[in-house]
Amino acid sequence: MGRRKIEMEMVKDSNSRQVTFSKRRTGVFKKANELATLCGVQIAIIVFSPGGKPFSFGHPNVEFVAQRFLNQDKKPKASAGSLVDSQQEARLEKLNSQLNDILRKLHYERKRGELLEKAMKLKGSEPKLIGELNLDELRKMKGELEELREKLRGRVTEMEASSSLLLLSKKPGREKHQ
C-alpha cells in the first residue's frame, strides 16, 4: 500500500493535530535546511504549535534574517560583524559538508545491506533458528556477535562525539524546542 493523498483540512482531534504538527514541523525545518545548504540562501521560519509554543529555524539564524528583511531598503554597513558572519558561514558550510558525508555513508550502508540480503537469498542460505545450530556454529556465531559488539561500541562512540560537536556548534536561537 503506497502513499495516499491526504485532503487538506484541519485535523479535528487535538492529539492527532499535535502529532501531525510535530512531524510536519520537522519536515519543514529539514527542507529549509536543505534549501539553505544546496542553494546558499538565508532562510527563517517561525511557527506556533497548536498549544501556542513558538518554534523557529534560521540559516544563519532567525535574528539575522529578520533584521535583513526589516532593513532591506537600507545599505548594509561593513563592520566587524561581517567578519564574524563570514567565519560563521564557513563553519556552517564545514558542518553541512560533514552532515552530507555522513548521509552519503548512511545511504551507502543501506544499499550494501540490501545487496547482502539479496546475495543471501540467492545463495539459499536461509538463517537457521538458534536452537538448530550445533556447538561449532554457536561458537562461531558468538565470535561474530562479539566482533559486531566491538564495532558497534566504536560506532556509538563516534556518533556521540559527532553529536556533541554538532550540539556545541549550534547557536542559541537557531532552533528552539520547547
Q: Pull the grid cell for residue 154.
A: 566504536
Report the domain count for the chain. 1
118 assigned to some structural domain: no
Report the CATH number that the domain containing residue 63 is assigned in CATH.
Answer: 3.40.1810.10
28 assigned to some structural domain: yes
| pLDDT on residue 105 | 92
146 assigned to some structural domain: no
- Alpha-carbon distance values, 82 to 42, 61, 86, 88 (Å): 15, 14, 6, 10
- Of 20, 61, 34, 88, the C-alpha closest to 175 is 61
42 assigned to some structural domain: yes
pTM assigned to the model: 0.41
- Of 173, 175, 165, the C-alpha closest to 95 is 165
Reduced 3-state DSSP string for 75-132: CCCCCHHHHHHHHHHHHHHHHHHHHHHHHHHHHHHHHHHHHHHHHHHHHCCCCCCHHH
52 assigned to some structural domain: yes
Q: How far is residue 148 CA from its own chain's centroid?
A: 25
50 assigned to some structural domain: yes
| pLDDT on residue 178 | 44
Q: Pull the grid cell for residue 137.
A: 556454529
168 assigned to some structural domain: no
> What is the domain extent for residue 44?
12-76
Which H/E stretch holds residue 55? strand 54-59
Per-residue pLDDT of the chain (178 residues; tens, 9 = 90+): 578 887 889 889 989 999 999 999 999 999 999 999 888 899 999 999 988 899 999 988 898 888 888 887 665 554 545 666 777 788 888 888 888 889 899 999 999 888 888 877 777 666 667 777 888 888 988 999 999 999 999 999 888 888 888 877 775 655 555 4
| pLDDT on residue 175 | 52
- Give residue 13's identity as a one-letter amino acid code: D
84 assigned to some structural domain: no
